[in-house]
Structure 1
């Protein structure tokens, strides 16, 4: 269990978080070392960005290049976070179009996805706290559906990923074990962010 010192953000549950929307993330305070659970916007904006309107806002960072990419390397070194999720969606190309699938842990526990965060501040004082998710090559469960998957950080590795412990966080950027996840087809209603209800994660027959 990730213990945060601040109150849980007062936000309704979501079954279909889309880019540009907010999601909860666990971060380590750089001065106190305490863990905070905060709402961040999905779509990474580095602190050095000049124009918020024209800046690209990547929702994913590749594990293979995240430590060296000019966009992400500072955040990878200092601003790593965990993004809790009960499930995530991916799409498989079929002869009839794209079929969405849901992925979740087989043990029923929430996933902790590896992310990076940063804070951008405009000239007028406006602040944007944003994040991106790190993806890696797919494991045997995910590969038939999509070639990439988010990095899932196991509980024993949370201290290393958040910076509580010394070590190389790059070693954690691996596909989840084949026994960790399960996948099932879901309704194409998930394709629209306007649809956001628990029925989205029910299996499509």
Structure 2
């Protein structure tokens, strides 16, 4: 996953996609986010569950443990290592969902510049990506160390031709189970390893190279192009 995505709907659209009956503690606002070209370090809306409440918070994309000051904060965590490696040990229990509208990848097609592609669900419903992170809750106030990472797995099918990694995404039912703080860690690991959505749920197409500049925003970045 190259590190660019869109999160332009509002939080209530994403709650509807989750079909979650829990009362919402909304710290993300009620207006559409309109982030058509979101990049690492940006504040993005994530969901996490605390007791019986679903929380929506704006959290920085990217996280590193306090002792890893010699490297940039990763934005992704490989599914093969995330549950057992030391780097993410502190946040592995803190499961979250980031709901997005699409993500972007860049493919080498032999030209002078890589070609950007937009990837979205075929039904254009929000994409529910598995994430873990450090974020505020009822007992811990917001901190400069807050952040989240998206869990990624190997791509499959035709998506491999665009990029060899992709987010682990869930159906609404599995997303709700992933958020459940009572779900055992072993079950959570099996979910991300074996129960992510298949490539067939997605479609992809070329978009304008303007998406390569993070300062460019707007719905025009989502338009298919034949170039």
User: Residue 166 of structure 1: CA displacement?
Assistant: 3.0
* Partner Cα separation in structure 1 for residue 203 and residue 103 of structure 2: 11
Q: Is the 8 A contact 2:27 2:58 kept in 1?
A: no
* Partner Cα separation in structure 2 for residue 146 and residue 183 of structure 1: 12
Q: Tell me, what secondary structure is at the counterpart of 2:25?
A: coil
Q: Tell me, what secondary structure is at the counterpart of 1:161?
A: helix
* 1:109 equivalenced with 2:125 (yes/no): yes
Deviations 1:109-165 (A, max 9, x none): 100111111149xxxx95342101111010213111111111001111023211255
Q: 1:119 to 1:164 in 2, by over 3 A?
A: closer
Structure 1 unaligned regions, length at least 5: none
* 1:166 equivalenced with 2:187 (yes/no): no
1:38 to 16, 37, 57: 57
Q: Is the 8 A contact 1:139 1:176 kept in 2?
A: no
* 1:195 equivalenced with 2:212 (yes/no): no
More helix by share: 2
Q: 1:50 to 1:69 in 2, by over 3 A?
A: closer
Q: Is the 8 A contact 2:106 2:163 kept in 1?
A: yes
Q: Is the 8 A contact 1:40 1:130 kept in 2?
A: yes
User: Residue 50 of structure 1: CA displacement?
Assistant: 4.5
1:79 to 94, 99, 107: 94
Q: Count matched residues.
A: 195
> RMSD value over aligned CA atoms?
2.2
User: Residue 72 of structure 1: CA displacement?
Assistant: 1.1
Q: 1:157 to 1:148 in 2, by over 3 A?
A: same
* Partner Cα separation in structure 1 for residue 100 and residue 162 of structure 2: 19
Q: Tell me, what secondary structure is at the counterpart of 2:169?
A: coil
For normalisation by structure 2, the TM-score amounts to 0.78
For normalisation by structure 1, the TM-score amounts to 0.86
Q: 1:7 to 1:91 in 2, by over 3 A?
A: same
* Partner Cα separation in structure 2 for residue 152 and residue 127 of structure 1: 27
Partner in structure 1 of residue 46 of structure 2 = 25
* Partner Cα separation in structure 1 for residue 61 and residue 24 of structure 2: 23
Q: Tell me, what secondary structure is at the counterpart of 1:9?
A: coil
* Partner Cα separation in structure 2 for residue 93 and residue 183 of structure 1: 15
* Partner Cα separation in structure 2 for residue 166 and residue 6 of structure 1: 21
